[in-house]
Amino acid sequence: MAEFTLPKNSKIQKGKFIDVSEGAKTARSFKIYRYDPESGENPRWDTYKIDLSKCGPMVLDALLYIKNSVDSTLTLRRSCREGICGSCAMNIGDGRGTNTLACTKAINDFKGEITVSPLPHMPVVKDLVPDLNHVYAQYTAIEPWLKTDTPAPNRERLQTEEDATILNGADGNGPAACILCFCCSTSCPSYWWNADRFLGPAILLQAYRWIADSRDEATGERLDQLEDPFRLYRCHTIMNCTNTCPKGLNPAKAIAEIKKLMVARR
Ligand code: SF4
Ligand code: SF4
Ligand code: FES
């Protein structure tokens, strides 16, 4: 019988408990995944109990308070702190976690201790920072720029309002609004197991963004690139991607649209 053993560093250990909430009217504990692959030590859960009056209302505010005032070794990514850059994506929950943006997720959306860990099924650079090299290589592979053969007009390539709405969405939630946070791809079971060959919902949504662009002249070539049992067809419409997108986008629908175009051109 086959015997599977988890790698040594997959066993998460209990870490330290730091309580800096003395005198707080409202205190909250944050249980945070800590891992430094270069240390040779196993990952651990460190818990910080903090006074919520010392930080802003979002989970990112609490993490930055911990980093700036309690434990400067905590490592995380963030930039815009308003849901635009996608860099603070992580898994957050008070039970079963969900992939979301720490900067737009309110602490009060949770009850009790809040667990924070990096986006699942990605290698970890350190603590809450996933290694995005592979997803960005996949992004590069779909050639995410306007491809044209016809000569460029004097000013710009125009588009009807109707065509622009396909990209932007009627409520601003079209594929062009994707911030590449990868919450969707890292919640997709097909992507967990086939990330080497399946492009995953974030990249397929981006692929659709260029396929659907009325100004792009490489639609056939783009569809040829996706016509593959793994790159596109590993999506089994499980819908985790759409359910988790913190921007309210619908990558599963974008994938379905690509599949429809594949059928239509046969
Ligand atoms: S709909 Fe497709 S891409 Fe989205 S989670 Fe399911 S399998 Fe993954
Ligand atoms: S579709 Fe949504 S969850 Fe996926 S990368 Fe784009 S913004 Fe993030
Ligand atoms: S910090 Fe930019 S999306 Fe959260």
Q: What is the pLDDT of residue 167?
A: 98
Lining residues, ligand 3, CB within 6 Å: 78-81, 83-88, 101, 103
Lining residues, ligand 1, CB within 6 Å: 188, 190-191, 201, 235-241, 251-252, 255
Structural domains for the chain: 8-130 (3.10.20.30), 133-265 (1.10.1060.10)
Give Cβ neighbours of residue 199 (< 8 Å, ≥ 6 apart). Answer: 138, 141, 142, 207, 226, 231, 232
Nearest CA to ligand 3 atom 1: 81
Q: What is the pLDDT of residue 3?
A: 63
Q: Produce one character per residue of 45-77: b if its CB has 16 or more CB atoms within 10 Å, e if not.
A: bbbbbbbbeebeebbbbbbbbbbeebeeebebb
Residue 91 reports pLDDT greater than 90: yes
Q: What is the pLDDT of residue 41?
A: 92
How remote is the CA of residue 60 from the centroid of ligand 3, in Å? 9
pLDDT per position as a tens digit, 206-259 = 999 999 999 999 999 999 999 999 999 999 888 999 999 999 999 999 999 999
pLDDT per position as a tens digit, 127-165 = 999 999 999 999 999 999 999 999 999 999 999 999 999
Q: To test ligand 2's pocket by mutation, which of 101, 119, 138, 184 has the most ligand atoms within 8 angstroms of CB? A: 184
